[in-house]
Amino acid sequence: MSQGTVKWCDTFMAEDDGGGASGFADLALAPELCRVLAGLSYEEPTPIQRAAIPPLLAGRDLVGQAATGTGKTAAFALPVLQRILGGEGGRAEPLALVLVPTRELAMQVSEAMHRYGHDIGARVLPVYGGQPIGRQLRALERGADVVVATPGRALDHLARGTLNLRGLEIVVLDEADEMLDMGFAEDIESILASTRESRQTALFSATMPPRIDGMVRRHLRDPVRIELGRQPSASHNGLLVRQTAYAAPRGHKAAALGRVLDLEAPAAAVVFCRTRDEVDRLTQTLNGRGHHAEALHGGMDQQQRDRVMGRLRGGGLGLLVATDVAARGLDVEQLTHVVNYDVPSAPELYVHRIGRVGRAGREGTAITLVEPREHKMLKTIERATGRPILIEKLPTVADLRNRRLELTRATLRESLLKDDLDTFRAVVEGLGAEFDLFEVALAAVKLAHEASGTSHEEEELPVVEFASADDGGGRRKAAGRDRDQRRGRSATEGTTRLFVGTGRSSGVRPQDLVGVIAGKSCLSGRDIGAIEIADRFSLVEVPESAADDVVAALRQVSIKGRKATVRRERYRAR
């Protein structure tokens, strides 16, 4: 590692708990800003904040590699605001310029800086396309301390002479890789050429392609380099994101995704596709299956994009199909699932995508559809991130039927608990005089189930098998094989299989068993071998030396809300 580089590893937080700087005041932030942060319930800085704030306060140029959800906005916003606090008030020219790739991100960064800087009187102005130019002209004329802008609109104001950067002290390039991908390279070069060479420059990016290095060499002076250790399965508050993958047959991926969504029933999900055409085709297919999906990509005008984003943030849209460029800067509180329709081409992209869920104390789920030809790419992501991704088999027709029946049951139960049903009492009593009440209830459930609109015919999808059940990266297959076939298999040498008396009919999935075992025993996720799920029981492969400890631990806990029989598997292959 070169001099001036700060690299954070996966164990950073644990290592730091023993002492050292833990609060924002220890980073030499002004008391005024610390009070604001305390009022916002910010207790401790995240790793990127802890690494970036001190050198930025010291006036150093900085290059930070960090994914979405790591707290990087505060990492550059707080030093900028402290510079404003210590400078002269009422400046006509901006002290800082923050360049971002999209209108959505411009609004988010501006709102965040306004929250942090409101009490110290900081004037933060967002400048982006799609907003009336007259309003921006009047605001710039009144003066602003910080301008948060998209490159195109910033260059437009420079050409008009309405944005004066002669007194600029700080430039922040946020999501630099995405700005380059969107074709803003020349705009950024022109903007930086309009500033004085003595300025301080900070560049943040989720990935660091070679062209980013070229920009750094041209425009930054001896920068501190920070690489946030990749933690793709954890948000900045340390909560795990559930990561799974489904083996998807080629030519059946849209149907496969529909099944996964039917089974998961996400409150709000984003499905990432590689191209605009794929986004449009998949959106149409999902809507044809009864999902309410909308598209988001760079081919849409700003008004269309605003409408879609407004519906997603307002809770009126549960499924968004998008390209990476269009969704950059997306931060939706209700988001529960991220789906990779294809395996991302680079581990950094995977990390960046799944960082959009599991924030602020909420659980999140990341799902990837994997074609056979993409299996090696998934293994590359696992090696790079150091986290296993469980491969599950696609839901069968029986799985879907059971899930739909569960939804019908849940709907009826909620009605029994909450609704006023007296209006229908005469109907039931009248039918009860003619039929058995249980038969009446069955007919009512049938009608309710059919009225839900989920009772459509399905065909079984082709089964995809990868080379091995466990390739060393901790990947396990969730198998729904015939019981006799399953019992004919023996455990791997040095391991034993445990019988767990609960299975698919109780909603148990491989990741549930991995989570319980890793959380309650001495084993980690990587120590657990093949997992097989049947309707009423499961088989789990564990090291022979730890089998008794795992059995004892599992007998003390509930799995999916119920206690289950746990023992060594009695059957041995002959």
In the chain, which residues fall in CATH 3.30.70.330?
Answer: 477-568
CATH number for domain 477-568, candidates 3.20.20.10, 1.10.10.10, 3.30.70.330, 3.30.420.40: 3.30.70.330
Q: How far apart are the first and last CA of the chain?
A: 55
CA 311, 313, 317, 319 dihedral sign is positive
Half-sphere exposure of residue 185: CA atoms within 13 angstroms, side-chain side: 11
**Burial level of 217, CB count in 10 A (0-12/13-18/19+)?**
exposed
pLDDT at res. 188: 94
Encoded tokens for 264: 């998961």
385 is written with which tokens?
């991130």
**Measured distance CA(60)–CA(4) in Å, rounded:** 10
User: CA 128, 130, 135, 138: dihedral to nearest 10 degrees?
Assistant: 40
What's 559's DSSP letter? B
pLDDT at site 347: 77
CA gyration radius for the chain?
A: 27
pLDDT recorded at residue 475: 37
Is residue 458 within 8 A of residue 397, CB to CB? The reply is: yes
The pLDDT score that the predictor gives to residue 569 is: 78
Closest CA to 13 of 44, 55, 56: 44
pLDDT at 533: 79
How far is it, in rounded angstroms, from Cα 56 to Cα 79? 6
pLDDT at 206: 80
DSSP 305-364: HHHHHHHHHTTS--EEEEEHHHHTT---TT--EEEESS--SSHHHHHHHHTTSS-TT--E
The residues of the chain scoring below 50 in pLDDT are 1-22, 230-239, 455-457, 467-490, 571-574
Q: Considering the chain, tell me which residue range(s) the CATH 3.40.50.300 domain(s) occupy.
A: 5-227, 241-396
Residue 535 token pair: 């309707």
**Structural contact between residues 273 and 322, judged by C-beta atoms closer than 8 angstroms:** yes
- At residue 11, the 3 state secondary structure works out as coil
**Residue 384 phi, psi (nearest 5):** -70, -35
| Predicted TM-score of the model (pTM) | 0.49
Reduce the DSSP state of residue 206 to 3 states and report it.
coil
pLDDT at 473 (0 to 100): 37
pLDDT at 421: 86
Q: Contact at 8 Å (CB) between 99 and 205?
A: no
Three-state SS for 372? helix
- What is d(CA 241, CA 246) in angstroms, rounded to the nearest whole number? 16
What pLDDT score does 183 carry? 82
| Backbone phi and psi for residue 283, each to the nearest 5 degrees, phi listed first | -60, -45
Give the tens place of pLDDT for each residue, 212-230. 888 999 999 999 999 875 4
Residue type for position 574:
R
Q: Is there a contact between 115 and 167 (Cβ–Cβ < 8 Å)?
A: no
Q: Provide the residue type at 356 as one letter.
A: R
pLDDT of residue 467: 47
Closest alpha carbon to 518 in 508, 526, 509: 526
Distance CA 339, CA 287 (A): 17
- Tens of pLDDT along 557-566? 888 777 888 8
pLDDT digits (tens, 9 = 90+) for 443-473: 888 887 777 655 444 667 766 655 443 433 3
Look at residue 144 in the predicted model and tell me its pLDDT.
Answer: 92
Contact 498, 530 (CB under 8 A): no
Strands 477-479 and 390-392: parallel
* Helix, strand, or coil (residue 186): helix
- pLDDT for the residue numbered 436: 86
The pLDDT of residue 545 is 82
Q: 47 and 20 in contact (C-beta within 8 Å)?
A: no
CA 377/CA 349 separation, integer angstroms: 12
* CB-based contact 286:258 (threshold 8 Å): yes
Q: Sort 450 into a burial class: Cβ within 10 Å, 0-12 / 13-18 / 19+.
A: exposed
Asked if residues 72 and 48 have their Cβ atoms less than 8 Å apart, the reply is yes
Tell me, which fold does domain 5-227 have in CATH? Rossmann fold (3.40.50)
CB atoms under 10 Å from CB of 415, counted, come to 12
- Whose CA is closest to 396, among 554, 533, 225, 287? 533
pLDDT attached to residue 1: 36
Q: Rounded CA gap, 181 and 325, in Å? A: 8
Question: DSSP secondary structure string, 166-182?
Answer: TT--EEEE-SHHHHHHT
* List of residues 6+ apart from 377 with CB closer than 8 A: 343, 344, 345
Residue 59: CB atoms within 10 A of its CB come to: 11
Q: Which residue carries 């999140």 as its tokens? A: 364
Place of tokens 């590893």: 9
Pick the closest to residue 528 from 390, 321, 419 (CA basis).
Answer: 390
* Distances from the Cα of 469 to the Cα of 388, 465, 516, angstroms: 13, 9, 20
Per residue in 182-194, pLDDT (tens digit) is: 788 999 999 999 9
The whole-number pLDDT of residue 478 equals: 36
Q: At what angle do helices 437-451 and 397-418 cross, to 10 degrees?
A: 110
CATH class entry, domain 241-396: alpha beta
pLDDT for res 397: 76
